[in-house]
Every structure is written in structure tokens, then in C-alpha cells.
């Protein structure tokens, strides 16, 4: 049996690392890096730190419009599938890399498997939401991280070959947390546990809007704590374009590797983010999360009381910073930390049955 993994962004490197490890010895594996995250700090460093094999193919697509980026990925992915003739193709999450892999594979022979299926923010203005919807509806086999994700698929009448297996990002956090060098990270940035806030910001809704960026940064000027900000290259470009001056509370650092990010998340007073993956990691780390969006695909983290949605509203952001201190118990909403193994077992069994038809 031969399979292809398609990935291109930071969260996907982490997911692929866990699933690929579970496949070792059970299948030949081909790795296709689309190059969607082209900055070294967002790409190569993750491959190195996660002990992920070097890609067999790097499409090196880089930044472009959604149409150009996705179409160029599709051309490269089609060539790879024709070259390697895999039995199945794995796509992950909700990026343009996911969409490109899904659209190509569904028109060819391999079985299409979507890891992290069924997530919905119910906001179709988000490109990620469209990517999720299309990928789920053309996939052959769907692996859901939570029961709510499976419920979403059943509502759309595509739950026949969908399974709740838990979240591979939760697997990764448990697997890698013992490798986190906490003291080195705290010393590197001159911070103390609980003495800083952690910020990530990259969604177009926020960074492409001068009004929203101005509102967010103006609010941070009222914070009493230092804000550590691993700045995404896209965000840096928009701040420069809008000629914005960041408040002194913000300490900008380059994008960091996965293990360093876990250390920062674990020890922050709170996390401020518009990232879906960071919301989830903050929950797993037991760190309050203030989400700079109006909705989230990870509704369970809000329902649990550990995540609050504030959008780009300065008053809501500041109120959450001052008063959002959850103390409720955190349920195991992302599985039992064996999601990758379950994915492999289910896929092998399904492929065996499918192959006899």
C-alpha cells in the first residue's frame, strides 16, 4: 500500500508528523509540501523540530491570490499522483493546500482521506470555511476530531464514512510536551510564567483591515502586561502598509517553532489569537484564550468556559483581559490522545474492504 500526505502550513506539519509516525511500517509514504508557508520559520524549522521526513516533493508555491495559489498547487499535486500512483491521499485541515489536494484527488483513482473533518464556523466569508465544506463533500473517508464535527457532517448528509477519532493535535501536544525547554524560552524573551500575554494574529478579517488592526493595537496599549507577539510575515506586511505604530507593551519576535510555542502557550497569563489551532492548544494547556474573531470552529472550547469570542472590539478585548479567568474543569473534548493510531487502523480496514469490491 502507498499513500501521499499533502501539507503546507504549520498546523499541517504537526498533524502529518503524528499520522505519519503511526503509519510507519504499514505503508509506503510520500510527502508533498505545497510551500504555502514559505518562510523558513513557518516551514523548514517545523519539519526539523518535529522529526518529519524531508518532503519528496516541495512545490514551493509561496504567497499568491487564492485562485493562483490553489491552481498551481493542483498542477503539482496531479503530477505527483500520476508519478507515485498512491492508493490513498491524506489531506489535513482547511487550507488552500487541503482544497487543492482534495479537488485533484477526487477526480483521480486514489481514495481521499480528510483528517480534521466536520469543523464548521458557519461563516462563509472565511476562505477556510469554503475549503472545509468542499473537502468534506468530495472526500471518501472523514476523520472527525470531536462528536460535534460528526454531527455537522450528518446534518449535511455526508456522515456515512465519517468517524470520531479524537484530535491529532492533542496527540502531538502530549507526545512533544516533554521536549519543551521551558527555562530556555523564558530566559530568551526575558519573561516570567504568568507575567505576559501571548498574541497571534493573521486572519484577513483582522490584518487586512486598518480599522480592525488599529482597534486591536490601541486596546493593547492599555494592557499592564507585556505581550509576546510572534509576528506572521503577512501581518508584518500589512502593519507596514497601514503605517501603524505598535504600543510599547508588544514585544515582536520572529515566528517560533512548535515546541517553543507550546512553552509560551503554557506559561502565558492568557492567549490572544485569531487562529483555530492556537485556541485548541490553549485549551489543552489550561491557558485562558481570548479569540479575536466573532465565531469559532472549536465551539467546544467556548462551551467549556475556557475560550471567549471578542472579535476586534476593543472594549470586549480589554474586558476579557481584565476579568476572564476560567477555573472550571477542562473536559477531555479532543479524545484520548491516540487519534493517529485510530486513523491508521480504520483506514487499513476500510481499504481492505474497499479493495474487494
Residue 68 scores a pLDDT above 60: yes
Q: What is the pLDDT of residue 356?
A: 38
Q: What is the pLDDT of residue 355?
A: 53
Kindly report the backbone phi and psi dihedral angles of residue 144, in degrees, each rounded to the nearest multiple of 5, phi listed first.
-100, 135
Q: What is the pLDDT of residue 49?
A: 66
CATH 3.40.50.2000 is the classification of domain 2-167+335-355: yes
The phi-psi region of residue 125 (left if phi > 0; otherwise alpha if psi is between -120 and 50; otherwise beta) is alpha
- Per-residue cell: 108: 483521480
For CATH 3.40.50.2000, the residue range(s) in the chain are 2-167+335-355, 177-323
3-class SS string, the chain = CEEEEEECCHHHHHHHHHHHHHHCCCCEEEEEECCCCCCHHHCHHHHHHCCCCCCCEECCCCCCCHHHHHHHHHHHHHHHHHHHCCCEEEEECCCHHHHHHHHHHHCCCCEEEEECCCCCCCCCCCHHHHHHHHHHHHCCEEEECCHHHHHHHHHCCCCCCEEECCCHHHHHHHHHHHHCCHHHHHHHHCCCCCCEEEEECCCHHHHCCHHHHHHHHHHHCCCCCEEEEECCHHHHHHHHHHCCCCCCCEEEECCCCHHHHHHHHHHCCEEEECCHHHHHHHHHHCCCEEECCCCCCCHHHHHCCCEEECCCCHHHHHHHHHHCCCCCCCCCCCCCCCHHHHHHHHHHHHHHHHHCC
Cα–Cα nearest to 35, from 83, 99, 97, 98: 97
Residue 168 scores a pLDDT above 50: yes
Residue 179 scores a pLDDT above 80: no
What span, in angstroms and rounded, lies between the C-alpha atoms of 145 and 116? 6
Length of the chain: 357
Q: What is the pLDDT of residue 47?
A: 64
Residue 353 scores a pLDDT above 90: no
Judge contact between 334 and 146, C-beta under 8 A: yes
The residue that leads in pLDDT, 43 or 124, is 124
Q: What is the mean pLDDT of residues 190-215?
A: 95
Q: Quick one: what percent of the chain has pLDDT higher than 90?
A: 80
Residue 27 scores a pLDDT above 70: yes
147-159 tens-digit pLDDT: 999 999 999 999 8
What span, in angstroms and rounded, lies between the C-alpha atoms of 15 and 223? 34
| Residue 202 annotated as catalytic | yes
Q: What is the pLDDT of residue 54?
A: 83
Q: What is the pLDDT of residue 135?
A: 98
The residue that leads in pLDDT, 185 or 356, is 185
Kindly report the backbone phi and psi dihedral angles of residue 326, in degrees, each rounded to the nearest multiple of 5, phi listed first.
-60, 145
The phi-psi region of residue 76 (left if phi > 0; otherwise alpha if psi is between -120 and 50; otherwise beta) is alpha
Identify the band that residue 357 occupies on the pLDDT scale cut at 50, 70 and 90: very low
Q: What is the pLDDT of residue 46?
A: 59
CA angle 171, 175, 180 (to 5 degrees): 125
Q: Is the dihedral of CA 82, 88, 90, 94 positive or negative?
A: positive
Residue 164 scores a pLDDT above 70: yes
Residue 136 scores a pLDDT above 80: yes
Q: What is the mean pLDDT of residues 327-355?
A: 91
Contacts with 66 (C-beta within 8 Å, 6 or more apart), sequence order: 96, 127
79-122 tens-digit pLDDT: 999 999 999 999 999 999 999 999 999 999 999 999 999 999 99
Architecture of domain 177-323: 3-Layer(aba) Sandwich (3.40)
Cα–Cα nearest to 57, from 87, 21, 24, 86: 86
What span, in angstroms and rounded, lies between the C-alpha atoms of 276 and 149? 14
Selecting among 137, 202, 225, 338, the annotated active-site residue is 202
Amino acid at each position: 500500500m502507498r499513500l501521499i500526505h499533502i501539507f503546507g502550513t504549520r498546523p499541517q506539519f504537526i498533524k502529518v508528523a503524528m499520522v505519519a509516525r503511526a503509519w510507519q511500517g504499514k505503508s509506503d509514504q510520500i510527502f508533498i509540501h505545497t510551500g504555502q508557508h514559505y518562510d523558513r520559520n513557518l516551514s523548514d524549522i517545523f519539519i526539523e523540530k518535529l522529526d518529519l521526513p524531508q518532503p519528496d516533493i516541495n512545490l514551493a508555491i509561496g504567497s499568491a491570490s487564492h485562485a493562483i495559489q490553489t491552481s498551481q498547487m493542483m498542477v503539482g499535486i496531479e503530477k505527483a499522483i500520476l508519478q507515485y500512483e498512491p492508493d490513498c491521499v491524506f489531506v489535513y485541515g482547511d487550507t488552500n493546500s487541503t482544497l487543492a489536494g482534495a479537488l485533484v484527488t477526487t477526480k483521480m483513482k486514489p481514495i481521499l482521506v480528510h483528517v480534521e473533518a466536520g469543523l464548521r464556523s458557519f461563516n462563509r466569508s472565511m476562505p477556510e470555511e469554503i475549503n472545509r465544506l468542499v473537502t468534506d463533500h468530495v472526500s471518501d473517508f472523514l476523520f472527525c476530531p470531536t462528536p460535534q464535527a460528526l454531527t455537522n457532517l450528518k446534518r449535511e448528509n455526508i456522515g456515512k464514512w465519517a468517524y470520531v477519532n479524537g484530535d491529532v493535535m492533542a496527540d502531538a501536544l502530549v507526545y512533544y510536551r516533554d521536549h519543551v525547554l521551558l527555562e530556555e524560552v523564558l530566559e530568551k524573551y526575558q519573561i516570567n510564567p504568568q507575567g505576559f500575554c501571548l498574541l497571534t494574529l493573521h486572519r484577513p478579517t483582522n490584518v487586512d483591515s486598518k480599522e480592525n488592526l488599529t482597534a486591536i493595537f490601541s486596546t493593547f496599549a492599555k494592557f499592564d502586561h507585556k505581550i509576546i507577539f510572534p509576528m506572521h510575515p503577512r501581518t508584518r506586511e500589512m502593519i507596514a502598509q497601514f503605517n501603524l505604530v505598535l504600543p510599547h507593551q508588544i514585544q515582536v519576535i520572529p515566528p517560533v517553532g512548535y515546541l517553543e510555542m507550546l512553552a509560551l502557550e503554557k506559561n502565558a497569563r492568557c492567549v490572544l489569537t485569531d487562529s483555530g489551532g492556537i485556541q485548541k492548544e490553549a485549551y489543552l494547556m489550561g491557558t485562558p484564550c481570548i479569540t479575536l474573531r466573532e465565531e469559532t470552529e472549536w465551539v467546544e472550547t467556548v462551551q467549556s468556559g475556557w475560550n471567549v469570542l471578542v472579535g476586534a472590539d476593543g472594549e470586549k478585548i480589554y474586558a476579557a483581559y481584565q476579568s476572564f479567568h476560567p477555573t472550571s474543569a477542562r473536559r477531555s473534548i479532543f479524545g484520548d490522545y491516540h487519534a493517529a493510531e485510530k486513523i491508521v487502523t480504520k483506514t487499513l480496514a476500510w481499504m481492505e474492504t474497499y479493495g474487494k469490491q
